[in-house]
Amino acid sequence: MLISTKGRYALRILVDMAEHQSEHYIPLKEIAQRQGISEKYLESIVKTLVKGGILTGLRGKGGGYRLSRPPEQYTVGAILQMTEGSLAPVSCLEKDAAPCARAAGCRTLAMWQGLDKAIREYLDRFTIADLMQAEQPGDFYVI
């Protein structure tokens, strides 16, 4: 599994918007400047987020985008699922995957299912509000 720039930038956009939220809509140009991301590329990401109900948009003067709900209500897992399509570590675990003829005798299936579950549970522990914190929560291991 490799998270694309679309998924990573979507998280950056949402954190930026959460940090600069007000009763006004935020122009995409402002977000692009603050984040150092092409406005054209942000348009395609924002389109996905609007379609998914994460953002609301307003065209014209005073237009832009804003979060549809508070940052605490958006999990990183849900955002990445929306922007990436799938977070499954192997193709047989993707949402619409055809049944695998080898599943009954697959010696690695349980391991892949466990990894898939761990990825989803880990990413769902974090919200956009968590990412706004200077020190992010998480598991820090020292060897």
Over residues 13-45, the pLDDT tens digits come to 999 999 998 888 999 999 999 999 999 999 999
What are the backbone angles phi and psi of residue 57, rounded to the nearest 5°?
Answer: -125, 155
Global pTM value: 0.85
Cα–Cα separations (whole angstroms), residue 55 to 99, 125, 138: 35, 21, 26
Q: How far apart are CA 16 and CA 36, in angstroms?
A: 12
